[in-house]
Structure 1
Amino acid sequence: MFTALMHWMQANDVLPRISDTERQALEAGNVWVDGQFFSGKPDFAAMLDARYGRLSAEEQAFMDGPVEELLSRADCNEIALTRRVPDHIIEFMAEAGFFGLIIPRAYGGKEFSTLARSAIMAKVTPHSGILSAYVVIPNTLGAAELLVEYGTEAQQDHYLPRLARGEYLPCFGLTEPTAGSDAASLTADAEAFRDADDEIRLRLNFRKRYITLGPVANLISLACRLRDPDNLLGQGEAPGITVVLIHGGTPGLIQGDRHEPIGEAFPNGPLMGEDVVVSADNILGGRDQAGGGWRMLMESLAGGRMVSLPATAVGGIRTVAAATGAYSMVRQQFGLPIGRMEGVATPIGRLNALAYMTEGARVFGCTAVDDGINPPVVSGVMKAYTTELARQSATDAMDVFSGAGVMQGPNNIIGRGYCSAPVAITVEGANIMTRTLMVFGQGAIRCHPHALDVVHAVENDDARAFSKGMRGWIGHFLANLGRTVGHGLTRGAFVRVPDVDAATKRYYRKLGWAASRFALFTDLALFFVGGRLKMRGNLTGRYADALAWMLMGFSTLRRFEAEGRPREDRVLVDYALRLSLAKVQEAFEGIYENFDGPLGKLLRGVFLPILRVNRLARLPDDRMAMAAAAVSQRIDAQSARLNADIFMPENPDSGVGRLFDAFHRVADTAPIVERIKAEQKAGELPAGEPDALAQAAREAGVIEADEAERLSAARGARLAAIEVDVFSESDFFARAVAPSEASRRDAA
């Protein structure tokens, strides 16, 4: 019976076909907690046993020392206006070791953990996206990481010390006009040949774009498609995708032109090569790695997407949440801080919960990479969903800051981040492709307990392996069918929950209930959509949403447990889990509404109404939003803990420093303001803004002289913090390009 079924599946493309490049992607990295959700019966005890890391003493000292000093030295407004990082800042970064965070100590690097590199990126990026590029690129996917993992001993000895010292500034040349998210389709060409000196060399022709640090780098790791007509390298006539090291200044290499990224114009531009000739020894990993580039990229990206972009996104969310809460208490309208208004508090509550949730996911995911786990599906989720949440958070912050957010200048602390948000959405695989193709497309095969074995059996025409795999798969399907019905009737009451905080047990039960349905519907998609899944991006995107929000929800719970279940954090946990589960519910409704064929009609006509009545959760309510907002609207031990490792300059003349100086002063004088308000209600003091009545209150004996001074100073700081930048006519037009100059640039 199973043999006939296998032949029928082969003939009808029931299961997705896997190309050679897709197979290497599937085989790269590891299945992690994502596999628990695909199983339909997550073992929460085992998942909670997964380590939740902390920075070492050395790493924390680097965060508190060199990182703080770097950001204090670097004038983010000057960098943004000039579009350059000053030489003295680059020199400081080299001396302090910023270019060697990923490089082993034996070669002069810091050899920091993935978690530490992520934390450094998260702290630097909100201050300056341009400066961030000089931290992110040398310490993530590129020359250093690839050389550490795959380089020959000679390559490591030569390049790694020089990279650590900043003598080489690297970039990675992958994206092309016709190869973006579909990196396997790249056309950059390299041909092996023997020169007049009988040396084997490579002749490269390529056209790359969107290359961060491309205009300023002097060491390029170039992904190309290698041809070897005479099999000089011993890997066949078409070895395939290969990574080649090219030095700046090599004849035929064209670099220096720039793209202009939206928001902050970090160094980014095209790389072109016309008959660029390098030694065959420039193949990263040596000649034996000819054709090994795709595997290198997939293995590096399997964990790499967990690092840079999630770090920059989460750092942005956390900084924006802290700043927006502070601004909402400094800015007053109608006689009270705007943060006390429900309409304003709602987005602030959402910001605070997202900051808590995404930071938990960042730490949890980076810890897995440090433990030798490179989960490509979770990495894809982290890249796509944290960057999208960062974009949404920037919009929420802009709504609260309002006029102070839309007027540009040195004191606008959210404008550049708001404008730059789409950049992270597009790089390292556009989010729309990651969501609709990669996350579920890869996860459904790789993370499923039986699917990959069955696919291999069908491809290999192995009837015995197919029979074994299908028996296991059918048992898996029936078990999840029973679990889904049972959990639906009991609302997850019988999901096994380990020893966790009593108030959070209901969330584990709902996640277990959601996981059983997710696993069941994964099987239905593979059975009934099968080989057409690649074409059903909207449907697979909804599956990706369900998986992503289950992972985000669990990461929140993991953080809460790891940090000792702080009672005051419960409001953030409650908000984050309500939001996560409501998003999972929304994803399931989308799956039910858009499934194909007779099953789809049954789901829409019969089961969708039941799904909507017996829902996992509803979105957080107004009371929960107000309570979550309060976390960033006060200065206490909790806010200090949650804002740890966010850069808050001490200079009260800077935008961020000015805001937090005012916030502290306003919080400090709040009891004085309340006393004045009480006297106003009693008719002892005139109407008006309480902090404007310092002198009158002192004369009436309501407050002491020193309190009046503090209150006046707080008012001055408050008014300064809500002020926007003003430019004289000459300064304003000095910031623009004269029409004649623009014409000359266009002509050039």
Structure 2
Amino acid sequence: MSALLAILVLVAGAWALAFAGASLKVWTAAVAVYIGGLLATGVLGAVGTLVAAVIFIPFAVLLNVTALRSVLITKPIFATFRKVLPPMTSTEREALEAGDTWIEGDLFQGAPDWNKLLNTKVTELSNEERAFIDNQVETLCRMIDEDKIVREEHDLSPETWEYIKKEGFFSLIIPKQYGGRQFSSLAQSTVVTKIATRSISAAVTVMVPNSLGPGELLMHYGTQEQKDYWLPGLAKGEHIPCFALTGPEAGSDAGAMPDTGVVCKGEYEGKEVLGIRLNFSKRYITLAPVATCVGLAFKLYDPEGLLGDQKDVGITCALVPAEHPGIDIGKRHYPMGLAFMNGPIQGKDVFIPLDWVIGGKEMVGKGWRMLVECLSVGRAISLPALGTAAGKMTYRMTGAYSAIRRQFKLPIGKFEGVQEAMARIGGYAYRLEASRVLTASAGDNGIKPSVVSAIAKYHMTEMMRVALNDAMDIHGGRGIIYGPRNYLGYAYQAIPVGITVEGANILTRNLMIFGQGAIRCHPFVFPEMEAARNPNEQEGLEDFDKLLFGHIGYSVNRGARAFTFGLTGALFAKAPVSGPTAGYYRQLTRMSSALAFVSDVAMGVLGGELKRKERLSARLADVLSHLYLATAVLKFHYDAGQPENELAYVQWSVENSLYEISKAFDEFFANFPNRVIGRLMRTVVFPLGRPYRQPADKLGAKVANQMMELGGVRDRVTQYGFWAEQDENDITGRMEVALRLLPEAEPVFNKFQKAVTKLDVPSFDFEERLQAAVAAGALSDGEADLVRRYEKLRYEAIITDAFDKEVLAPKSQREPELASEVA
């Protein structure tokens, strides 16, 4: 019996030490105490204790004496690691080192500090920023007619262009000392979001100069002379910027660009100066057709050594006036469903002075790092804003439409099939807004979130895709007919724009999120790689030894945590709050520990091969992503004071994320090349089977029903959108006016329908039926007026546009004066 007890104590002690993450010295001391305990209790006699000591002491010395351990254990591992470690190009290093890790680092490492998260400051808009959003942005939205922009004019109106320039919409990030507005990252995001609820064409026009553009590059890297010359003009709208990065051969892989610059001497303003001769062909450049200055990325070469010994200098960025000799600019592309300015730029043998390089001579060859850092900021603000705008618009309009539109004498929002799609729209809209606020706030906290920005870009544009698809399904014919009444069609057609730009989504999910996250967020992997690359082998070995044994302890701890939480349902995980959301924090801690464990095993077994197993790494990327998205939802709810009326949205969003996490893990284990290791990982992570399911139908129904109700969570989720709430002649305003009248009108409208059925009125004419109901005493005159007004609003809200045939006739047959007439 004592032997069995000793074994149980051994297992329990080892488990406790592993779960606590005890150091090697603590493990050594614990084993020594255990052996002494066995001797003291008589489980081991003197001989047995001597044998145990003979086995234990050499191992203890070997593992704890660093010099000995380093030579006998670490050195052979170090030598093998150095041999198999793939070379790292300068562009790969710059991409890895660019930006910062943030909340995702804690989530990746398996032990998130929830109190730290909840105490993280989320940006609040300043009075100046709110005033701009409530006035200038509001005015701009009222000027915009997306149908006219896209279908008729193929451009913003001249008045709109002038207003954007005059009111500083291109200067949101430029410091006030140069005439800019110097808004926070959250304010930039909010401005773009609100405009995008009205017009994605206008939003993109405003978004790009404040994202990856010459302005941001100048502020971070420009010389003082460059800032003084360019920034005031950019702030006033005297200069319209574009940035030429992508081309036919280099989209997501910007490092493959064939565009070149050669250092040489040439003539500029009548003098011979040191400069660069450029040859380039760029495509898909937003604002290029109207740009007055061009940010240009190219590969710089110095064959004559005019700058130094390095012949292949590297990617470089310059700022060039659009009218500079040799530049061919002005043609347009035609982006799907949108009318923002976008086009090609070409240049042949274009000579520019060297001081046009952004940052001057000191920044030649450093363009890739500049771009990667600025891209991470743009991904964190611009595209998440577009995705969130789609979420807000589909939420608000689908909720209103589902309450107003009736089938079989019921609002369509009461049908379970419709509610399933509505729940996704509502849950995604809440998650989108939560993620937008948290991610944009990173920049305001001095963080350049490289991994988080990729998560936000990919998942928020994918949620945009799903939400718009669901909204189109619910609206049916109302969504597919173009015209001034259609608030879905152009946004739906624009989905591929958000999906494609700033890194195509396939690339972002399959390569960037986990590929970059695994190295940047892991506490040991990148330092181990750096130690292995240290040219001083002895110094590298010493660093690697400390890292290796720290890594082993980390892996054991994360595995023990994952298995313990799996067996107990995360019962012992800590939650920073009490109440209905506490369990979600525990479950996210459990899945965070599981990710840390599984990532270590996968990298240990597959090594560099994991990078090429894109489907596997994409599934781990999904785990990390949904950990972050669920965290953003809980943070958003907490910062609002955990209002009870939002609880259904929080529950739906987090439970959906947990389901997606478990699904990603399940598919990862099933497809892991080593089936034995795959089963082992599954046993550790899901010892009792997969615990998570999609949100319950009742929960989805609650979300859907709240979407059709005025005020409350509806207003918070869709705050900072443009809805023209009092204007029944506006594209979204008519939906709002009808929905606002619904609570008062619906009971009377239902009474009217019952009366008509009971009276068996022979006419199908609405007015004749209404008069019959009044004549029979079923409705009063006041009630009839209310029904009449509501019916007019309801019909206007669900009807689609119809055009005179001349309007849609072939262009050769159209009369100019008929081109804009709408029936």
Q: TM-score w.r.t. structure 2 length?
A: 0.86
1:95 maps to which residue?
166
Matched, 1:6 2:46: no
Bigger drift between 672-681 and 335-344 goes to 672-681
Matches within 5 A, 1:300-311: 300-311=374-385
**Which one of the candidate residues 547, 552, 567 is aligned to 1:489?**
567
**Which one of the candidate residues 394, 399, 406 is aligned to 1:332?**
406
Shift of 1:228: 2.0
CA deviation digits over 1:503-556, x for unaligned, max 9?
Answer: 001101110110111000110121011111221111110011111111100100
1:258 maps to which residue?
332
2:99 maps to which residue?
29
CA deviation digits over 1:461-489, x for unaligned, max 9?
Answer: 41111101111110100001100110000
Bigger drift between 75-84 and 374-383 goes to 75-84
CA deviation digits over 1:547-592, x for unaligned, max 9?
Answer: 1111100100000000111110001001001101000011101110
1:59 maps to which residue?
129
- The amino acid that maps onto 2:80 is W
1:743 maps to which residue?
none
1:73 maps to which residue?
143
1:530 maps to which residue?
607
Aligned residues of 1:480 and 1:519 also touching (Cα < 8 A) = yes
The change in CA–CA distance for 1:738 and 1:270 in structure 2 (over 3 A counts) is: farther
Shift of 1:230: 3.0
Matches within 5 A, 1:446-485: 446-460=520-534, 461=537, 462-485=540-563
The change in CA–CA distance for 1:9 and 1:737 in structure 2 (over 3 A counts) is: farther
Aligned residues of 1:51 and 1:368 also touching (Cα < 8 A) = no
1:713 maps to which residue?
789
- The amino acid that maps onto 2:706 is V
Shift of 1:94: 1.6
2:699 maps to which residue?
624
> In 1, Cα distance between the equivalents of 2:692 and 2:763?
44
Bigger drift between 724-733 and 116-125 goes to 724-733
The change in CA–CA distance for 1:688 and 1:572 in structure 2 (over 3 A counts) is: farther
Shift of 1:642: 2.6
Aligned residues of 2:149 and 2:339 also touching (Cα < 8 A) = no
Shift of 1:370: 0.6
1:646 maps to which residue?
721
**Which one of the candidate residues 649, 653, 657 is aligned to 1:576?**
653
The change in CA–CA distance for 1:737 and 1:237 in structure 2 (over 3 A counts) is: farther
The change in CA–CA distance for 1:235 and 1:699 in structure 2 (over 3 A counts) is: farther
Matches within 5 A, 1:191-590: 191-195=262-266, 197-234=271-308, 236-460=310-534, 461=537, 462-498=540-576, 500-590=577-667
Identity %: 36
**Which one of the candidate residues 256, 280, 283 is aligned to 1:185?**
256
Q: Secondary structure of the residue that 2:344 maps to in structure 1?
A: strand
> In 2, Cα distance between the equivalents of 1:124 and 1:222?
28
Aligned residues of 1:673 and 1:690 also touching (Cα < 8 A) = no
- The amino acid that maps onto 1:624 is L
Q: Secondary structure of the residue that 1:443 maps to in structure 2?
A: helix
Bigger drift between 415-424 and 180-189 goes to 180-189
CA deviation digits over 1:578-612, x for unaligned, max 9?
Answer: 101000011101110111225445359x749x839
Matched, 1:722 2:793: no
Aligned residues of 1:107 and 1:160 also touching (Cα < 8 A) = yes
Aligned residues of 2:652 and 2:699 also touching (Cα < 8 A) = yes
> In 2, Cα distance between the equivalents of 1:591 and 1:671?
53
**Which one of the candidate residues 611, 621, 632 is aligned to 2:686?**
611
Shift of 1:278: 1.4
> In 2, Cα distance between the equivalents of 1:696 and 1:620?
47
Shift of 1:707: 2.5
> In 2, Cα distance between the equivalents of 1:305 and 1:423?
14
> In 2, Cα distance between the equivalents of 1:190 and 1:29?
27
Matches within 5 A, 1:156-175: 156-175=227-246
Aligned residues of 1:677 and 1:690 also touching (Cα < 8 A) = no
Shift of 1:287: 1.6
Shift of 1:419: 1.0
Q: Secondary structure of the residue that 1:731 maps to in structure 2?
A: coil
Look at both structures and tell me which one has the larger radius of gyration over its CA atoms. Answer: 2
CA deviation digits over 1:291-346, x for unaligned, max 9?
Answer: 11111112212322101011111111111111111111111111111111111111
> In 1, Cα distance between the equivalents of 2:749 and 2:762?
13
Matched, 1:666 2:666: no
The change in CA–CA distance for 1:266 and 1:38 in structure 2 (over 3 A counts) is: same
Matched, 1:149 2:220: yes
Q: Secondary structure of the residue that 2:523 maps to in structure 1?
A: coil
Aligned residues of 1:233 and 1:290 also touching (Cα < 8 A) = no
Aligned residues of 1:133 and 1:213 also touching (Cα < 8 A) = no
Shift of 1:643: 2.2
- The amino acid that maps onto 1:330 is I
Aligned residues of 2:395 and 2:718 also touching (Cα < 8 A) = no
Shift of 1:255: 1.3
> In 1, Cα distance between the equivalents of 2:812 and 2:659?
49
The change in CA–CA distance for 1:299 and 1:688 in structure 2 (over 3 A counts) is: farther
1:746 maps to which residue?
none
User: Which stretches in structure 1 are left out of the alignment for 5+ residues?
Assistant: 740-748
Q: Secondary structure of the residue that 1:240 maps to in structure 2?
A: strand
The change in CA–CA distance for 1:115 and 1:272 in structure 2 (over 3 A counts) is: same
Shift of 1:11: 2.5
> In 1, Cα distance between the equivalents of 2:447 and 2:678?
41
The change in CA–CA distance for 1:569 and 1:664 in structure 2 (over 3 A counts) is: same
Aligned residues of 2:193 and 2:386 also touching (Cα < 8 A) = yes
- The amino acid that maps onto 1:458 is A
Q: TM-score w.r.t. structure 1 length?
A: 0.94
Aligned residues of 2:509 and 2:618 also touching (Cα < 8 A) = yes
Q: Secondary structure of the residue that 1:194 maps to in structure 2?
A: strand
2:116 maps to which residue?
46
Matched, 1:83 2:159: no
- The amino acid that maps onto 1:719 is Y
- The amino acid that maps onto 1:528 is V
CA deviation digits over 1:430-469, x for unaligned, max 9?
Answer: 0100100011001101100111111111122411111011
Shift of 1:242: 0.6
> In 1, Cα distance between the equivalents of 2:780 and 2:307?
86
Q: Secondary structure of the residue that 1:306 maps to in structure 2?
A: helix
- The amino acid that maps onto 1:477 is S
- The amino acid that maps onto 2:738 is A
The change in CA–CA distance for 1:691 and 1:231 in structure 2 (over 3 A counts) is: farther
- The amino acid that maps onto 2:281 is R
Shift of 1:706: 2.3
Aligned residues of 1:208 and 1:272 also touching (Cα < 8 A) = yes
Q: Secondary structure of the residue that 2:275 maps to in structure 1?
A: strand
